[in-house]
Structure 1
Amino acid sequence: MADSIPSLQRPANRAARLSAIEQALAHYVVTSQSQLSQILADQGIAVTQATLSRDLDEMNATKTRLTDGTVAYAIGRAVEAPARSEAGGESKGEQQMAKVLSGLITSVAAARNLVVIHTPSGAAQYVASVIDRQPIADVLGTIAGDDTVMMICTDDDSAQRRADWLLALVSKS
């Protein structure tokens, strides 16, 4: 598990557990409940198999065959992220983001571990929501105002890489 989920401090409640499960399914190829249980345990979340099974059912997580043939848990479109397109090696999730965000981002700049994203008035919360719904390595989350989004990254270098990536992503159209 070299590419680990950032260590977030989580309260010991159901909502936090469901969020941790969603993050685990977005960042890892999870093929069994015991593997998922271990990922959660590594984050300090103890869960029984019965609770985990109920949580996965409630989240509508299903086992889905990935493009490489592996059968793994997925929630909604999470299975699309690892699949690479034939053309440019860009994931389907990135292609969707590019389509949605291309007319909504007016500027991008890195500032320490933050990426400041400017949008037309009223679009920032939508842009933040689109970013938050994709499993993006080194991104902890976003904060949105009316026309500005702050994307919080794990460190300064990650912020610069993500700023360059986001700018390239929305410049393709």
Structure 2
Amino acid sequence: MTDHTPALQRPATRAARLSAIEQALLTRIVTSQSQLSGILADQGIAVTQATLSRDLDEIHATKTRLADGTVAYAIGVQQPDEGPATSPDAKAEQQISRVLSGLVTSVAAARNLVVVHTPSGAAQYVASVIDRQPIEGVLGTIAGDDTVMVICADDPSAKQRAQWLLDVVSKG
């Protein structure tokens, strides 16, 4: 079975580089800056060690010991006195539920899109919250005044994400 997910292409900007670094740290076990540099190079992003070091500092990436003993970079890791860390998916759900529960008025899937309605003036904020979370199958959003279009990789992803978003905002 072939993966038909469109390849994410990034412009050669600092913001795109930081986004690529965050995505790599959220989706892979990265144990060194040279490994991360290789991952970025595979995406067409050339970066010096000094720049990579500054970028990791800027996004508050830290080296953390994983359950299996491996030491790897992580972002958004809780300190020991903050309680147990949650997975990125659970974290995304908690954040979205807390922030969006009063702002989403309806959700519908239409082919590979999810149409989200909000009160007037809230769509930009809702889109921003969705864009900041690593949500599988979601490529990005477009927002107007009271409507957000969530672009998904394919039709089944849109149906799953529409139901997921309804469930998440209903919890809050």
Are the equivalent residues in 2 in contact too, given 1:81–1:93 (CA < 8 A)? no
1:165 aligns with 2:170: no
- Alignment correspondent of 1:47: 47
- Alignment correspondent of 2:97: 98
- Alignment correspondent of 1:133: 132
**Structure 1, unaligned stretches of length 5 or more?**
84-89
- Alignment correspondent of 2:82: none
Instruction: State the superposition RMSD in angstroms.
Output: 2.8
Are the equivalent residues in 2 in contact too, given 1:107–1:118 (CA < 8 A)? yes
- Alignment correspondent of 2:58: 58
What displacement does 1:169 show? 1.2
Structure 2 counterpart SS, 1:91: helix
Query: Relative to structure 2, which stretch is displaced further, 151-160 or 59-68?
Result: 59-68
Q: TM-score under structure 1 normalisation?
A: 0.79
Take 2:98 and 2:62, find their aligned partners in 1: how far apart are those partners? 27
Q: Deviations over 1:56-99 (max 9, x none)?
A: 1233322234567654323346995526xxxxxx7133123212
Aligned with 2:87 (options 82, 87, 97): 82
Are the equivalent residues in 2 in contact too, given 1:26–1:78 (CA < 8 A)? no
Take 1:119 and 1:66, find their aligned partners in 2: how far apart are those partners? 39
What displacement does 1:139 show? 0.9
- Alignment correspondent of 1:15: 15
Are the equivalent residues in 2 in contact too, given 1:25–1:78 (CA < 8 A)? no
AA at the equivalent of 1:163: A
Take 1:72 and 1:138, find their aligned partners in 2: how far apart are those partners? 25
1:117 aligns with 2:116: yes
Are the equivalent residues in 2 in contact too, given 1:113–1:159 (CA < 8 A)? yes
Distance of aligned partners of 1:70 and 1:91 in 2 relative to their CA distance in 1, 3 Å threshold: farther
Q: TM-score under structure 2 normalisation?
A: 0.80
**Structure 2, unaligned stretches of length 5 or more?**
80-84
AA at the equivalent of 1:51: T
Moved beyond 4 Å, runs of 4+? 65-70, 77-81
